[in-house]
Every structure is written in C-alpha cells, then in structure tokens.
Homo-oligomer: A and B are copies of this chain.
Amino acid sequence: MRNLAFYLFTFFFISALSSQELKSPDENLKMNFSVSGDGTPTYELSYKGKIVMKPSKLGFEIKDKESLIENFEIVSFAQTTFDETWSPVWGEVKAIRNYYNELFVSLNQKTTARKLNIRFRLYNDGLGFRYEFPEQNNFIYFVIKEEKTQFAVSGDHIAFWIPGDYDSQEYKYTKSNLSKVHHLLRNAVEKNASQYVFSDTGLQTPLMLKSVDGLYINIHEAALIDYPCLSLDLDDKNFILSSHLTPDAKGDKGYIQAPFNTPWRTIIVSDDAREILASKLVLNLNEPCKIKDTSWIKPSKFVGVWWEMINGMSSWSYTNLPSVKIGETDYSQTKPNGKHGANNENVKKYIDFAAKHGFDQVLAEGWNIGWEDWFGKSKEYVFDFLTPYPDFDVKALNSYAKEKGVKLIMHHETSSSVINYERHMDKAYQFMIDNGYSAVKSGYVGNIIPRGEYHYGQLMVNHYLYAVKKAAEFKIMVDAHEAVHPTGLQRTYPNLLAQESARGTEYDAMTDNNPDHTTILPFTRLIGGPMDYTPGIFQMDLSVYNPLNKNKVSSTLARQLALYVTMYSPLQMAADYPETYEKFLDAFQFIKDVAVDWDDTKILEAEPGDYISIARKAKGTNNWFVGCTVDENGYRSKFKFDFLDESRVYIATIYSDAKSANYKTNPQAYEIRKFVVTNKSKFSQQCAPGGGYAISIIEADKIQIKSLKK
C-alpha cells in the first residue's frame, strides 16, 4: 500500500509538472498549458466548454543556435490573481478593471540548459500570454529566425482579414472562410505606395474570427516594443495560424538581449460580439502610464486643409517643379502653381470656421517645402520639417489661430525617410513648441529608408516609439499615419492619441471603400487602439468637386455622423469642406456636439461586417451620444435607453437616414427628429444600406422636467 501511495503521489506530481490549468475569474475561459512528449510547450483554450484553440505549440527558431521548440521540461509554475482598477488619461470609459488569473511557467530546455518562461493571463474577456527570456549567462544575445506560436483554431471559421504585409494595412477587408483565403488573397491586394505581401495565406492582426459554433475570437498582440510586428500565416489544411514576424533587411526577425519580454499575444473570446468591442484586454496588458504630468494631453476635434488635396482640388506642393532640393531650391524665385492648398488665406478660412463652430485645431498639410517630389522617388533628404512655403506664414497663422482660440496641427510627412526624420526631429519638435503647436500628424508614405527595412520591422517599431517618447519630452501629442498597427501602447504613452494604420476615409476619394468597412474596423484595427478615420464627409459624389473624380463615398450622411461614436478616437477630424458643412448646418450640429472623451461606453448591438451601435457618455457630463453603422443590406437597429440615468430626462436628437436613403443612390437623404427620452425609453430605427444614425442625448434642465410632469 505504501508503494501504491508513493506511485500515486509521483503520478500526480509528474502530472502537475507536465500540465497546468488556468481559469478566468468567471471560469468561462479555461486554458491548459502542457509540455508534450517531445518537450514542446503547448497551450489550449476553451470558452464555456467550446474549443477556442486546440493544442497549439509555442517556441522560437533561433539563428545559428538550437531552436527553442522542443526538449523542454517544466521547472516550476506559479498561479496568482490580480485585481486592480485604473483610470486612463483619456478613453472610452473612466475606469478599467484589470482582473485576471495568471499562470507563470518556468521551463528548462534539457538539451541546452536554457530557461524560457511563459506568462499567461486569463481574463474574463480573453487570454494574453508572452514569452520571457530570463537573465542567464548562456543565452543573452540571440537572433530570432521565426517565432513559432500557433493558434490552432477548431475549424473553418469565418474570418475578417486583410493580406499579411510587411508595409501596408490599407486594404479592404475580406470576409471569408479560412479555407478560402488562399484563393482570394492575391485579388485582395490593391496597389500601394509601399507593400510586401509575404504569402498567399498570410493575414494581419487584429484578426477577427467567427467560429463555426458561434464564438467570436480575436487574435492580436499587446505592448509591441523593440520587436518585430506580428502577422499570421495560415495552414489551411489544419486551420492552424502561426506567428509570422516582420524581417529586417537581411531576413532576421528580432535581435534580442535577455532579459527580455516579448509582446503579449492576445486572444479575445466571447459568444457575444459586443464583448469583443467592449474588451479592455489589450490595454490591460500594457504598462501603466509613464508620463508624470499628463495635463497637456487633450482630446480634440479638428478640421483642415487636406480633403481638397485628396480630391485633387489643390496641391500639397507650392510649385510644379519636377524636383527640388531642400536648402538649394530658392522658392522665392520659383513660379507658384496657384493651387497650393496650405496658403495663408485658405488656412485662415479654416481657422475662422473652426473658431465659429467650436473646433480645437486646424490641420494644414503641405505647409512646408519639399512636396514637389515627395512621393515615389525614394528621396532621402525629402523634407526638413522647418521651412514653410512662401505663402504659409507660420508665425502669423499661429498668432491668428491663438487669437481665435484655435491651434494649428503640425504635419510631419516623412516619406518614410526615417534617418532624415530623426536627424530633424528635435529641431522640428522645438519649432512646434516655439510656434504654438501641440500636436503633430506624422506620415510614413512609401518604402522605408534605410532601404530594405519594412514599416513593421523591429527597426521601425523602435522608431515610432522613439518619436512618441521624444514628443512627450516636448509635451507634444502624436497622430501617426502608416505606422505599425497599434497594440495598446497609448496606455503607457497617452500622448500617442491616435494612428491611421488602416484604410481610412481618403480611400473613399482615391478609389473606394466597402459600405461595410466601418462595421469591420472596430473588430479589427481598433482592437489595438484609436483610429484617426477622418470621417464627416457630407458630399458623397466627389465629381461635384472634381469632375475627373468618379469616386463616391460609400456611406450615407447619417452614417458619417455615427462614425464619431463608433470609430473611437480622442482625435477626430471633420474632414469635409467648410462650404459643404455650411449647406448642412443642421446635420453638422451633431459633429459640433459630439464629445471625444468618455466616462462610459455601452456596446448596444454588434455583428462584424453587419452592424455596430454604440452609446457613450461624454466625460464629466450626463450626456450620451449614440452611433450606428450598418452594411450594404441596411439594418433595423433596436435598443433600450436603460443606460441613461433613472432620475433624469433627456432630449435626444436623432440624425437618421431618410426612408429613401441609400449609400449608392441617395446618400444625402437624412432626417433630424427630437424626442424626450428617459431610461425607460426604447429605440427602433431602420438604417439604409451603407447607412446608420447618430443621436445626441442631452440632459434636460429641471424646469423642463417639472413642466413635463405637469
């Protein structure tokens, strides 16, 4: 009997050291970590009994050394629980609960005596895990050939995807089964100024999946620091997604010095699509705010000199010279082309408009010398970020703006000439401070210089963060376009207000966007962070401006208003022309009223690719704003106002598609109605194809309540 007891004990002991279970606080999610027979670290995940991830391998291929793939044994493990509520500097909600059960596993690779740790955090809304290379003398500096993290999904799920690419995210989303990716991918690749599609089965993250058994699963990464960006390569026989990192110019995928933690790999899970949008997993996995004084970080709304250039009505450049040389071309001797958008008169017009309608800032693109040959030339010394064109008076315009209570937004298009940008950055940021700017929109259009590097490689990941950290030293906010996909770093560096890093409104003018595009983006791109989507287009038929432009914006006007709520960002542009807004001042009122910073958010309805409706409570007020965006089929949206305060009465102004509205044929047909609502009220609204609605819900005064009760 003693022997049996001994063997039973040993059996349990060995079992304990070869697998570990972790549950989420509400126990809906269960993760199991184990080391297989050949010593391969493996995890699997289930949600309410349904498989989310089948046994999926973990590890790394290492350059010129034995890989970290097999021959592991568990040395030790520890389970802990963490529960803390924190407040973001700005956000969708005032307070975020960071509540998880954690499993920390320490592994030893028997063949090399190298240690590898993996940390799993299981939240109610999903799993995050990262690799941790501890300090150890026999494994300090190494180069990753490929990360070997698997996401072995349970079947031929529906996916909302864009092609895996080392340089561009500006693709339309495709909705298809995973098995169809291989057939559809090449056709999904639209030409871009800089792109590198690495595989016929490569996919970018955040990747949104809807499983065959009704689970919503989102795969992404959090806290991408000093490491190349994650993409996924799909094995469509076995439905295994494998990590595929972005290489450097030589094909290597990460230069590491231990101790080092990789970014978190994140899997958000729910049987309710709304919970995917509500998830705070990515933010929770990021480090707390590192900026001591955040008083200078301010969400805002802006207008600007931009849409006119996108539409070919004016030019970024001052002349039509075929080429220029910074510091050599004497612009006082050149012939202006008469179409330069960012000129004193035009910018003042925007400043006046912003002041009149309560916008905080005005963006002016094309303010600086060098735009004549900025694009497609792989030009190294392309901009100096300091010298304005002759018709852009920096001091005068900033002074004028200041008088009117408005600021200008700086523009740093880098043309991806990154060494050049870094050489000028300190002076360029100081120039901003000296001239009254507090925010910069940066851009990385074109192939990266140093040539051979990619937008999403380790070098560029480091650069984007370098630019943000340095901006914080100068108390400057950043809106980065064409940068690597966001991964929640805005928690740590909240001066990173927004990014583009996806296909935005400009594509409505340059080619087209799908009418369901904005019903997908929050499930994909926005999982990592806010998007500067630049909505608010009221004139859909762009040939009205430029007869040569046959493109149309695939949206109704009412849906454009909704986007200020559904496309979360602390930085929002009203992108259309002042003249156009002045024709629709009643609808424009919503954009003027909508907040950009929130105390609370309710996801009312959501289905990726179909519809999204969201309600948000404006920070420091009792007011709410609701937005709904729907696909080409239209949708009848229904919700209850039960999120409103019981004791209050509100005036709801509803901006909705007219009955006859249609994004293709009748996009500008909208109606505006006012209702008195309480938390007992209900709402039902038919949205047009490619349409939606927006609602401002403003707390009514008490006098009005009294009169109501009478």
A356-379 CB mask vs B (1 if < 8 Å, else 0) is 000000000000000001000111
The interface residues of chain B lying within 8 Å CB-to-CB of A323 are 140-141, 257-258
The interface residues of chain B lying within 8 Å CB-to-CB of A322 are 137, 140
The interface residues of chain B lying within 8 Å CB-to-CB of A377 are 140-141, 257
| Complex CA distance for A556 and B453, rounded to whole angstroms | 50
A7 interfacial by beta-carbon distance below 8 Å: no
Q: How far is the CB of A283 from chain B (nearest CB, A)?
A: 25
| Complex CA distance for A68 and B336, rounded to whole angstroms | 34
Kindly identify, within residues 299 to 327 of chain A, every residue whose CB is under 8 Å from any CB belonging to chain B: 322-323, 325
A244-256 CB mask vs B (1 if < 8 Å, else 0) is 0000111010010
Q: Which of B249, B258, B325 contacts A451 (CB 8 A)?
A: B249
Q: How far is the CB of A338 from chain B (nearest CB, A)?
A: 20
A320-350 CB mask vs B (1 if < 8 Å, else 0) is 0011010000000000000000000000000
A432-461 CB mask vs B (1 if < 8 Å, else 0) is 000000000000000000111100000100
A466 interfacial by beta-carbon distance below 8 Å: yes
A419 interfacial by beta-carbon distance below 8 Å: yes
| Complex CA distance for A452 and B459, rounded to whole angstroms | 12
Apart from the given pairs A249-B451, A380-B462, 17 other A-B contacts in the complex at a CB distance below 8 Å: A137-B322, A140-B322, A140-B377, A141-B323, A141-B377, A141-B378, A143-B378, A248-B452, A249-B450, A249-B453, A255-B378, A255-B379, A257-B377, A257-B379, A419-B459, A422-B422, A426-B426
Q: Once the chains bind, are A250 and B419 in contact (CB under 8 Å)?
A: no
29 pairs, CB–CB < 8 Å, chain A vs chain B = A137-B322, A140-B322, A140-B323, A141-B373, A141-B379, A143-B378, A248-B450, A248-B452, A249-B450, A249-B451, A249-B452, A249-B453, A250-B451, A250-B452, A252-B451, A255-B380, A255-B451, A257-B325, A257-B373, A257-B377, A257-B379, A419-B419, A419-B459, A422-B422, A422-B423, A426-B426, A450-B452, A450-B459, A452-B452
The interface residues of chain B lying within 8 Å CB-to-CB of A378 are 141, 143, 255
The closest CB in chain B to the CB of A141 belongs to B377
| Complex CA distance for A703 and B325, rounded to whole angstroms | 64
Interface residues on A, range: 20 to 34
The closest CB in chain B to the CB of A453 belongs to B450
Q: Which chain A residues have a beta carbon within 8 Å of chain B's beta carbons? A: 137, 140-141, 143, 248-250, 252, 255, 257-258, 322-323, 325, 373, 377-380, 419, 422-423, 426, 450-453, 459, 462-463, 466
| Complex CA distance for A325 and B258, rounded to whole angstroms | 10
The interface residues of chain B lying within 8 Å CB-to-CB of A141 are 323, 373, 377-379
Q: How far is the CB of A186 from chain B (nearest CB, A)?
A: 23
| Complex CA distance for A459 and B325, rounded to whole angstroms | 18
Q: Which of B250, B255, B379 contacts A249 (CB 8 A)?
A: B250
Q: How far is the CB of A385 from chain B (nearest CB, A)?
A: 15
The interface residues of chain B lying within 8 Å CB-to-CB of A379 are 141, 255, 257
| Complex CA distance for A67 and B248, rounded to whole angstroms | 30
The interface residues of chain B lying within 8 Å CB-to-CB of A258 are 323
Residue from A377, A450, A462 having most chain B Cβ neighbours under 10 A: A450
The interface residues of chain B lying within 8 Å CB-to-CB of A137 are 322
Q: How far is the CB of A63 from chain B (nearest CB, A)?
A: 11
The closest CB in chain B to the CB of A423 belongs to B422
The interface residues of chain B lying within 8 Å CB-to-CB of A450 are 248-249, 450, 452-453, 459
The closest CB in chain B to the CB of A470 belongs to B423
| Complex CA distance for A27 and B479, rounded to whole angstroms | 65
Residue from A137, A422, A423, A426 having most chain B Cβ neighbours under 10 A: A423
Q: Once the chains bind, are A451 and B380 in contact (CB under 8 Å)?
A: no
Q: How far is the CB of A290 from chain B (nearest CB, A)?
A: 13
The closest CB in chain B to the CB of A260 belongs to B325
The interface residues of chain B lying within 8 Å CB-to-CB of A459 are 419, 450
| Complex CA distance for A380 and B461, rounded to whole angstroms | 13
The interface residues of chain B lying within 8 Å CB-to-CB of A249 are 249-250, 450-453
| Complex CA distance for A322 and B463, rounded to whole angstroms | 27
Q: How far is the CB of A79 from chain B (nearest CB, A)?
A: 28
Q: How far is the CB of A113 from chain B (nearest CB, A)?
A: 15
The interface residues of chain B lying within 8 Å CB-to-CB of A419 are 419, 422, 459, 463
- Name the 6 nearest CB pairs between A and B, nearest first: A249-B452, A249-B249, A450-B450, A141-B377, A250-B452, A140-B323
| Complex CA distance for A257 and B382, rounded to whole angstroms | 11
Q: Which of B248, B255, B423, B451 contacts A248 (CB 8 A)?
A: B451
| Complex CA distance for A37 and B110, rounded to whole angstroms | 72
Q: How far is the CB of A426 from chain B (nearest CB, A)?
A: 6
The closest CB in chain B to the CB of A138 belongs to B322
The closest CB in chain B to the CB of A379 belongs to B257
Q: Which of B423, B426, B451 contacts A466 (CB 8 A)?
A: B423
The closest CB in chain B to the CB of A448 belongs to B450
The interface residues of chain B lying within 8 Å CB-to-CB of A452 are 248-250, 450, 452
Q: How far is the CB of A470 from chain B (nearest CB, A)?
A: 9
The interface residues of chain B lying within 8 Å CB-to-CB of A252 are 451
Q: How far is the CB of A537 from chain B (nearest CB, A)?
A: 34
| Complex CA distance for A423 and B467, rounded to whole angstroms | 11
| Complex CA distance for A378 and B249, rounded to whole angstroms | 14
The interface residues of chain B lying within 8 Å CB-to-CB of A466 are 423
The interface residues of chain B lying within 8 Å CB-to-CB of A257 are 323, 325, 373, 377, 379
Q: How far is the CB of A535 from chain B (nearest CB, A)?
A: 36
The closest CB in chain B to the CB of A426 belongs to B426
The interface residues of chain B lying within 8 Å CB-to-CB of A255 are 378-380, 451
| Complex CA distance for A258 and B325, rounded to whole angstroms | 10
| Complex CA distance for A59 and B694, rounded to whole angstroms | 65
Q: How far is the CB of A252 from chain B (nearest CB, A)?
A: 7
The interface residues of chain B lying within 8 Å CB-to-CB of A453 are 249, 450
The interface residues of chain B lying within 8 Å CB-to-CB of A451 are 248-250, 252, 255
The closest CB in chain B to the CB of A462 belongs to B380
| Complex CA distance for A322 and B141, rounded to whole angstroms | 10
Q: How far is the CB of A422 from chain B (nearest CB, A)?
A: 6
Q: How far is the CB of A258 from chain B (nearest CB, A)?
A: 8
Residue from A249, A419, A451, A459 having most chain B Cβ neighbours under 10 A: A451
